[in-house]
Every structure is written in C-alpha cells, then in structure tokens.
Amino acid sequence: MDWLSPAVGNIFEIKNLLFLLAGVSGGILVGALPGLTGTMAIALLVPFTYGLSPETALIMLGGVYVGAMYGGSISAILINTPGAPAAIATTFDGYPMAMAGRAEEALVTSAVSSGIGGLLGTMALLFLSPLLAAVSLRFGPPEYFWLGILGLTIIASLSAKSLTKGLFGGLFGVLISTIGLSPSTGVSRLTFDISDLLGGVEIIVALIGIFCIPQVLNMTDNKKLTEGSETFNSQPANMIKVTLSVVRRWGNIIRSSVIGVIVGIIPGAGGNVAGLLSYQEAVRASKDKDSFGKGNIEGVIASETANNAEVEGSLIPLLTLGIPGAPQAAVLYGALILQGLRPGPELFSGHGAIITYTFILSLFLANIFMLIMGLAASKYYAKALKLPTYLLMPLVLVLSIIGSFAGRNSIFDVGIMVILGLIAYGGTKMSLAPATIALGVILGPIIERGLVESMMLSRATGSLVQLFFMRPLSVVLVAIILLSAMWPLWIKYKEHKNATGSSPIKTYAPVKKTKGALSHFSSNVCLGISGLAIFAVTLLNLTEVDLQSAILPKVSAILMAMISIGLLIKAWNLGKEKKNTIKAADKTWKPGTVLVTIFITLSYVGLISVLGFFSTSFCVLVALGLLLTPKTPANNKLPKIIFSAVLSCAAFYGVFVKLFNVPFPTGILF
C-alpha cells in the first residue's frame, strides 16, 4: 500500500482535476454525437499528451473513456440512435420512455446506472485484476464463437411479434457484417466488384442507418407530431425518487456489473455485447417480461450498468497482461507506450505502481464527475425533445449524415448508411425489428472470428467437435445458450397453455397493425421472396470464394432461405383462412411526405460532393423544415427555420471541423 498516499495526492492536484473534468465533459459530448466514438476521441488526444506527465495524460484519457460510454446513452434515449455501439440496448427501453414523456427519468436512470456500474467496475479493476485477467486468457476461438451465438439468443427478447422474423433480421445482419475482405484470408466477399466495399460496413455506420433513418421517416410519417407545436410533453423527473428507484433494483445492478466486467476482460467482446447480454438477463429475471421494449426502467439499468462496468473490465487485461480488451483500451495501450510505460506485471511495481494506481483511482473520481454532470444536465437534455418536429427531424437527419461520414471520411459510407436505413424502415412495415439486424451486424465478426480460427485449430488437433464441445468453458457457454434460447419459448408455451386451458391449437387471428404496416400475410410474402433473393445473390457471389472465407455468409444465407420458405408456407396457410385474411395495407396511410423525405435524403447524399457539405446541409434543413411545417395561412415558420439552419450549420462547423478536424467535402459552394 506504499502507492496509496502518493496516488491520492496526484489525483487531487488542481491540474489533474481540471484535465479529468475536461476529459469527462469532452467524452460525454463525443459519446452523445452519433458517429463520434470514444475510440476516435482518445486517438485524437493521444498525440497531445506527449508533453504531459504520465499521470495527467492517463487521467484525462480515462475521463474521456468513461464520459464517452455514458454519452452514448443520451442520443440513444432522445433520438433512438446509439451514440456509440455500446448503447444499442439502451434504445430498447430508453427511447420508449422518452416517447411516453419520461425522457428526463430515462436520462437520470442512465446517469445513475452508468455511475454505479463504473464504480463497481473500478473496484473490480482495483482488487481483482490478476484473477480476472487469468480468466480472460482461457478464452480461445471456440469460446468466442459460442459467445457470439449467446448474444444472438437475445433475438427472442427483441422480436416479441415474431421470433421467425427476428431470426431473419439477425441473419441478414450477420450477412452485412461479412461484406468486404475475409479477416482470415483477405479474400473479398459480397463486394459485387465495388472497391469501396472491400473495407466492409463500419458498425457505427450500420447502426446509425438501422436506427436513425427509420426514426426520421417515422417522424415524417406521424401527422400528429408534425402538427403539434411541440414534439413531446416531457414530464419533470424527481431526481432523488428516480435515483432511489434505481438503487432499489440492486439485483439487476450487481448482475449487470458482473456481466460487464467479465465481458470487458474478454478481448474484442466490447460494451455492445455486455449491454445486450445484460439486457437479456434482465428480461429473463423479470416477472413482467412483456413490458420490456415498451419503456421498462430495468432495461435501461441493465444496459447502462453493464456497458460502463465494461470500461474498467477492458482495462484489466490491458494493465495486467498488455492485452487490450476493447478498441478504446487498445488506443490507451499506445498512450502508455508513448509515456514510456509497458503494460504488464511491471506496471504494478516500483514507480510504475504509483502511476498505475493513480490512473485506477482516478476512474472512481471520473465516474463521480460523470454522474454529477449527467444528473445536473438531464433536464436540459430532455428539452431537446420539445423542439417542433419540423426542426428536430432535419437535425437528426443531418447528424446521421455527419456521423456516418466522420468515421472514415467517406461519402460512400453515407450512402451505405442511407440504404441500410431504408431497408430497416421497410422492415418495420413488415414487423421486422431493426434491432435484430443491428444485433447480427455487431455479433457477426465475433462469430466468424471464432468459427474460422476454430477450423484452423482443428487441423492441428484433428477434431472440430472436440474443440467446440469438449473444452470446459465451451461446455458452460453451450449450456447457457440452450437455457437462454429455450427459456422464452418455455415461458410462451406456458402462457399459451394457461390461456387455452389445453394443448395449444394453431389459429390465424388477425394481427393488430401499426400505421402503414403490411398485413401478416403480405409481410410474410415480401420477406419470404426477399430472403430467397438474398440467398440466390449471396451464393452466386460466393461461387469462387474458398470455404474458409465463405462459410459464415453461406450458412447465414442458407438459414435465411429456410426461414423464407417457412414464411411463404405460413403465408399460404394464412391465405386459405379467408375469414382472417387482412387487407394488404393500412388504407389510412398516406406515404407522400415519406417519399418526398426519401427523395430529399438521396439528393442530399448525391449533392454533398457537388455543392459542398454545409451549403447542402443548409438547403436540406430548410427544405425539410418547410415540408413538415403545418400548412396554415397564419403559420409562417420560414424565418425560424432559416435561423435554426444557420445556427445548426455554425455549430456543426465549430464542433466537427474546428474541434475534431473532420474534412467535410467542399464543392461549388461552401
């Protein structure tokens, strides 16, 4: 404990406190903006830490890491778009809470859960590092494969309307994740001879498209929102009451923290997996499973506690073994090397111990700062939802474009984002949850890595079955997967049996449709035909690709084809049930405004490189604002729309160009 006194003294130096505060504040800002990730922020700041002391540099970068993880929940709750992949599970219940006027409650819940998860994760980092790092070393390719499959079992919770369609969406997401060069052989797959696809589809680009574009179009489609003076009527939250409500759910907090730390120490798993697994366990443990996805506070607690505990979990293998547990931790590895520190056991001895424990203890303070900032600012964040739709929706669209461009400075990525968004929007009309597609995109690389590397190992061991089913950790994971997959089916069977009083008899009852949604019959036909088309295109594109590179996309396409055939058979049976057949579409749905919005969006993407980013963004903000303004003679919103467009473009320029050096395209205009 010789390190304790000097480490605490280092933390409470005024300079270090100011850098920590700046790091947390900047991290929250970065996390809240779709497309700007904590990894990007840390990478940009590392060169500037060269002139700082090791303690100050690590304190600031740790603050950015902590703040960015929490910041991702802000946009997830307010606009249904995860600011970072780790916040994907937060959208499931956080956004429905916001839609019900409980945005401030959701934001306070997120801040408290994030703070508690971070503090518990830091305790694990401080006291259990050597033990937990040893566990992470036992994870090999087979365990990574089963970990990805375990993540896919959450589809049962995300697709309450149809598990079959949920599996369809998950497999489609896995196919998207395999586009580009094979990570094991470097062979191109599903690129259709388009060179820009060789780099694959960035996860954050896919997530923005899958979550944000459908939300933009749904806002356009909702006449009630466009006619109101305010988008939502937010209900003020009692901060103390909400905080106590979160703390009382200590079982969820402890379970989610443990999951977050364990997933964090597994290199490459990440906060997105931690949040998803924790959400699944929260659903399984709840007595009110049907409320999840509709604004259950337990879902927000589970996701945010887990992904913030994952932050410290990812630092355990980094500091003790020199193995980064997450992309952000990998960048921190570079910062340590830059400061002359070599991650590993020597960090915990001599002078390195003081620096290391200063960094670890500073994470306690970083989480406290983050908690205070989150609580203090929640009511102001929530007010963003009170913007009229004609101002809010165009801003969300432009932020989506910026976020998808900022990662690789590629207009092609913007196009991919929009295309995936339109596909996801079409999926919502067929009762296909966009979250299932996102789940497949996230877990696909983990599954492929484990599968391909296991195949390579089996050539040396001689038995693929032994690798997958005989290793102790694999056996445990397979057992958990079976339990996770069968539990929702068992619950539904029991509920159905109790409701009917006898063995279930298959019936085809009319399905309650949302506005503009296709009928059960029509959606099954559309998905079935689409799935078979995707199957044919995938196999044709993989004819000359080796087995190792093609196995995951081929298996995914084959499973999609089987599900598609099942959907078509079900549609045939529905067609024969004349009394229960529903008309093809909701006649009250008038998609004119949606089609115009899609046209403006596609024109936006096409004209950015011609006219320049800011001039095009200004035109889009004004055009969409006028499109969504209620058409009454006395309702002249043009000055307000123009002022908002100018202010927004100025803010984008200051934050993205001046602060983060994003090289937006320039054209004929600005």
Alpha carbons 338 and 56: distance in angstroms, whole number? 13
Q: Tell me: the pLDDT tens digits for 655-667?
A: 778 876 778 887 7
pLDDT(213) > 90:
no
Q: How many CB atoms lie within 10 A of CB 193?
A: 7
Distances (CA, A) of 458 to 327, 451, 469: 28, 10, 12
Alpha carbons 210 and 216: distance in angstroms, whole number? 11
- DSSP class of residue 430? T
Using DSSP's 3-state secondary structure scheme, residue 625 falls into helix
Entry pTM: 0.76
CA 382 to chain centre: 20
Using DSSP's 3-state secondary structure scheme, residue 188 falls into strand
CB 395 within 8 A of CB 647: no
Using DSSP's 3-state secondary structure scheme, residue 666 falls into strand
Element (H, E) at 181: strand 180-181
* Higher pLDDT pick, 499 / 303: 303
Alpha carbons 57 and 277: distance in angstroms, whole number? 33
Q: Tell me: the pLDDT tens digits for 17-48?
A: 998 998 898 888 878 877 666 776 776 677 66
**Burial degree of 596 (CB within 10 A; 0-12, 13-18, 19+):** middle
Alpha carbons 455 and 468: distance in angstroms, whole number? 10
- Count CA atoms within 13 Å of residue 207 on its CB side: 29
Using DSSP's 3-state secondary structure scheme, residue 612 falls into strand
Strands (E), 492-575: none
pLDDT number for residue 323: 66
pLDDT(579) > 50:
no
Token pair of 141 as six digits: 């390719």
Alpha carbons 649 and 453: distance in angstroms, whole number? 47
Q: Tell me: the pLDDT tens digits for 425-469?
A: 988 888 888 878 888 888 888 888 888 888 888 877 667 788 888
pLDDT number for residue 584: 44
Let me know the angle formed at the C-alpha of 104 by 99 and 106, rounded to the nearest 5 degrees.
70
pLDDT number for residue 553: 92
Alpha carbons 184 and 402: distance in angstroms, whole number? 32
Longest Cα separation, the chain: 80
Alpha carbons 249 and 462: distance in angstroms, whole number? 48
- Partners of 188 in the beta sheet? 181
